Amino acid sequence: MNLAWVFFRADRLMDSFAILRSIFTASNIYILFDGSLFGCGLDEPNFLLLLVYIAILFVADLCKYKGINIRQGIARQSWLCQVLVVAGSVLAILLLGVYGPGFEASDFIYSQF
């Protein structure tokens, strides 16, 4: 789907092929490490938070692959530990779910159609 968007957003068909070619033949890998990536709209703290979220998803996927059931592991703990895990999860969602002063809930991804 993401590749199809290139054809919709490019001005001409040849421009879309040039964009696709540049995606798969990028020779400037240093852009990931020189800080210019933060000019694309995601600042450094939010980028680091994104890396933490990706690590959490990776660990959860690895646990699922290994057959480790996280819910059962939490259910075997004492009730206090269960309450703390649930309360911590809800608090993390509430605190980290809002994206700063420029965030508008009405700016949904499909609002530009």
Q: Alpha-carbon distance 100 to 59, whole Å?
A: 27
Q: Which helix (H) or strand (E) holds 113?
A: none
Each of the 113 residues of the chain gets a pLDDT tens digit; together they read 888 888 888 889 999 999 888 888 877 777 777 877 777 777 888 788 888 889 999 999 999 999 999 899 899 999 999 999 999 989 888 877 666 566 666 666 665 55
Cα-atom radius of gyration of the chain, to the nearest Å?
Answer: 20
Q: Which two tokens stand for residue 52?
A: 């933490």
Q: Which helix (H) or strand (E) holds 8?
A: helix 2-9
**Whether the Cβ atoms of residue 10 and residue 16 lie closer than 8 Å to each other:** yes
Q: Alpha-carbon distance 66 to 74, whole Å?
A: 17
